[in-house]
Amino acid sequence: MFSLFLLVMALNFFVANSEEIIFPGILVELYQFPESRYGLAVSASTAGTLLASLFLIRAAHLRPLEHLRALFLVNSALMAALGLAAPLLRSVPKLYFVLFFTFQLLIGWLTACINVPLISYFQTRVPLEQQGRFFALLAFFSGILIPLGISYTGVLADWLGPGAAYACNNLCVIVLVLLVRLPA
């Protein structure tokens, strides 16, 4: 369970910075989309999360925890592909916007399919009397790693560009997921 805890921390470091650094860097700076289109594109992830939540409620017979590794890998692969496509599709901004919106829907969906079973797993494995401390520790380290990840990603995006930084961060997540033993 400790390795899973560390993976969650790594996700907070590498991925939680997307809305602060990566998405504005790609959509507003690189593509010069107006803020209204930026807001629409970023909200697609929330829509995907809501749809997945409804799906998970109705499909209680499914066991996403058994597919956690694949869900992590597909989610990070979509994010990396979105980052790599950013500089490649600059000549067709409408296509990139549609791709971004579609991928954000899928990423939101996959994120819910990862987070819901992951939190449930922690709740079933951590003794009830220790859950308060466990989740407080999780929140504490997340609170530290998210701003550190934002700082790191800001420097990386200045150096490589926001698309390449997004791809690089998610390739790191893919490597970590392949190294960590996940529950089944």
Q: Report pTM.
A: 0.90
- Where residue 184 falls among pLDDT bands split at 50, 70, 90? low
Radius of gyration over every alpha carbon of the chain, rounded to an integer in angstroms: 17
- Mean pLDDT, to the nearest integer, of 63-78? 89
Using alpha carbons, list the distances in angstroms from residue 83 to 32, 88, 162: 16, 9, 7
- Where residue 79 falls among pLDDT bands split at 50, 70, 90? very high
Judge whether residue 168 has pLDDT over 80.
yes
Using alpha carbons, list the distances in angstroms from residue 161 to 1, 63, 81, 98, 184: 35, 38, 14, 21, 37
Domains and CATH numbers, the chain: 2-179 (1.20.1250)
Return the structure tokens found at 77: 């692969």
Mean pLDDT of the chain: 92
Using alpha carbons, list the distances in angstroms from residue 20 to 27, 62, 146, 152: 12, 34, 10, 12
Q: Tell me the per-residue pLDDT of 24-69, one tens digit each, with 9 for 90 and over.
A: 999 999 999 999 999 999 899 999 999 999 998 888 777 777 888 8
